[in-house]
Amino acid sequence: MKWNVPLFDLDYNEQEENAVLEVLRSKWLTMGEVTQRFEEAFARMLGVKHAIAVSNGTVALHLACLGAGIKRGDEVIVPALTFVATAACVRYVGATPVFADITSPTDLTISPASIEALITEHTRAILVMHYAGYPCDMAAIQQIAQKYQLKIIEDAAHAPGAALNQINLGAWGETAAFSFFSNKNLATGEGGMVVTNSDSAAERIRRARSHGMTSLTWDRHRGQALSYDVLELGYNYRPNEITSALGLVQLSKLEKNNQSRRDLTAYYHYTLSQLLPEIELPFKQHRGLSSCHILPILLPPWADRTIFMNMMKSLAIQTSIHYPIIPDFHAYRTKRLSRGTGNLPNLRAIAPREVTLPLYATLHPTQIDSVLRAVQTSLKIIQHKTPES
């Protein structure tokens, strides 16, 4: 499909090309010196002690749960409106995800009131997800965590470079996970990072990333070890030097590109509220500094989302849904595998109206004008087809 405006696009140029060539010419492809530099630069940017690069955001979440000490029999409260990996990672460590509601149509992040209502004697942690790069209500969530002695884990996949009260997102929790999937603000194709200020969590995460081994191929290559022991069940979640090299370049562009996303989001919000006041705009007002990862809108309740998205498609504008409701997935319907699936009134009312419009750092305002003309046309046609609206 040839889109007039795609949902996302990369800011890639000769910098990324040269970085990859340099790795290829070095003939060291797996986790090594470039990965170490990427980890150090990421930790510095975020203001955390440890950053541990991994092969994608999903395994970063798995290790974030492991590092926070989540285990079989525990319950972890997660948002019901997120990517499935936020809930899956809880199951990877044998714990149960408990789904909390979202806050409101203007704030699609996890509701602190809903979190508190779901706490039991089995609850060990709250796993927040900073939806679209907008900070969750961390003050309220921290208060709850302190009151019930729970850990906070962050899914910061949408939020590199976002902050609240001068603290970067990803630096609030015991552990946090980032994704560098192709559509993310910092994109390397596949890739991820686990961050923490805890030395013991970092040690556990580093070990689990590479089979629980006490030394790595890289250490042996440098003559620092001859053999190894395996201290616990581990995984191969290692990144490679090519994605780390891409990550270093993308990290150097992050601040500029996040600012571009903020400016474009402001333009979308201003123009949409002038042209189409019947569309609700989540996060038009929000706390903290956002990384503006995606541009969610809420269609008027009378507008059929599937028809709308098909109309946009026929006008060559790509849209998406963030997200289908996790508790409705077959793999999450069984009571034994998750909890809190029944009482999600905000989610049920709001999520079916959500559509995501194109947003990326190199998007031009004239392309936004094309998107908005398509939104106007699509809604007009739907309205004519819906006599009761």
Ligand X SMILES: Cc1ncc(COP(=O)(O)O)c(C=O)c1O
For position 85 contacting ligand X by CB under 6 A, the verdict is: yes
- Closest alpha carbon to 135 in 260, 289, 265: 289
Residue 87 interacts with ligand X (CB under 6 A)? no
99 binds ligand X (CB under 6 A): no
User: Which one, of 68, 118, 63, lies nearest residue 92 by Cα?
Assistant: 63
Q: Pick between residue 82 and residue 114 the one whose CB is nearest to ligand X.
A: 82
If the CB atoms of residues 293 and 379 are measured against ligand X, the closer one turns out to be 293
In angstroms, the CA 130 to CA 346 distance is 17
Residue choice 57, 247, 282, 288 for contact with ligand X (CB under 6 A): 57
Active site residue 253: no
CB of 64 to ligand X, least distance (A): 10
Is 75 a binding residue for ligand X by CB under 6 A? The answer is no
Q: What is the DSSP letter of 93?
A: T
Q: How far is the CB of 179 from ligand X (least distance, A)?
A: 3
| Size of site (CB under 6 A) for ligand X | 15
Residue 86 in the binding site for ligand X (CB under 6 A): yes
Closest to ligand X by CB, 83 or 332: 83
| Residue 95 found at the interface with ligand X (CB under 6 A) | no
Contacts for 126 with CB less than 8 Å, ≥ 6 apart = 76, 77, 110, 115, 141, 144, 145, 150, 151, 152, 153
Query: SS3 for 108?
Result: strand
Residue 8 touching ligand X (CB under 6 A): no
Instruction: Write the CA distances from 388 to 144, 303, 311, integer angstroms.
Output: 45, 11, 20
Of 294, 348, 96, 102, give the one whose Cα is nearest residue 87: 96
Residues 109, 322: contact at Cβ < 8 Å?
Answer: no
Q: Does 265 bind ligand X (CB under 6 A)?
A: no
CA angle 202, 208, 213 (to 5 degrees): 110
* 88 token code pair: 């899956």
- CB under 6 A: which stretch of 77-85, 142-150, 204-212, 253-261 binds ligand X? 77-85
Query: Is there binding between residue 83 and ligand X (CB under 6 A)?
Result: yes
- State the nearest-atom distance from the C-beta of 225 to ligand X, in Å: 30
Site for ligand X in 110-129 (CB under 6 A): 129
Q: What is the dihedral of CA 67, 49, 27, 181, to 10 degrees?
A: 60
Tell which one of 35, 58, 265, 341 touches ligand X (CB under 6 A).
Answer: 58
- CB of 48 or CB of 187, closer to ligand X: 187
Q: State which of positions 186-245 bind ligand X (CB under 6 A).
A: 192
DSSP 150: -
- Residue among 27, 71, 151, 184 flagged as catalytic: 184
- For residues 138-167, which are near ligand X according to CB under 6 A? 155, 157-158
Q: Which of 30, 57, 65 is nearest to 185 (CA)?
A: 57
CB of 59 to ligand X, least distance (A): 7
Question: Which residues are CB-neighbours of 216 under 8 A, at least 6 positions away?
Answer: 31, 210
Of 12-20, 51-59, 220-228, 327-335, which part binds ligand X (CB under 6 A)? 51-59
* Residue 191: both structure tokens together: 């890739």
The correct pick among 34, 62, 82, 312 for binding ligand X (CB under 6 A) is 82
283: left (phi over 0), alpha (psi -120 to 50) or beta: left
C-alpha of 38 from chain center: 19
| Residue from 99, 181, 283, 360 in contact with ligand X (CB under 6 A) | 181
Smallest distance, Å, CB 324 to ligand X? 13
Minimum Å gap between C-beta 307 and ligand X is 26
Measured from each CB, the residue nearest to ligand X is: 57
Catalytic machinery residues? 184
Residues lying near ligand X in the complex (CB under 6 A) are found at: 56-58, 61, 82-83, 85-86, 129, 155, 157-158, 179, 181, 192
